[in-house]
Amino acid sequence: MRDALRDEGFEVRVAYDGKEVFNKLGEKPNLIILDLMMPYLDGLEVCQIIRNKVTCPILSLTARSEEADCIGGIAIGGDDYIGMPFSIQELKSRIQAHLCREQRNHQSKLLPLVMITPD
């Protein structure tokens, strides 16, 4: 996923667990991808904590595909929910849609993309 996004020209930063996420926020990401099953703090916990600190879109990736999981992820501040398995093309399309929306809303230069997922 990291390589595919870099091939598209994105700057990608990776945090390998829920604790490492907080060190990456200083780079002011324009989009965050959270795996909901990260070690230490899971993606839902991370999303709840960072939602008040970042305004960028947060996309949740998870193998959990129940409707309740999707609703819960969005209810705590996530902007999108992508169930696994997914195609890289779908992920890229959703990222582009969110970034275009952000650019229209803020009319500003896009900053580095931050991808948060365990290895």
Let me know if residue 77 belongs to a domain.
yes
CATH code where residue 12 lies? 3.40.50.2300
Please state the domain count of the chain.
1
Q: Tell me the per-residue pLDDT of 21-73, one tens digit each, with 9 for 90 and over.
A: 888 888 888 899 988 888 888 888 889 899 888 889 999 888 776 777 667 67
For residue 62, the cross-strand partners are 83
Structural domain range at position 29: 2-114
pTM: 0.82
Rounded CA separation 72/17 (Å): 21
Q: How far, in Å, are 41, 61, 92, 93 from residue 18 at the CA level?
A: 4, 14, 23, 25
Let me know if residue 119 belongs to a domain.
no
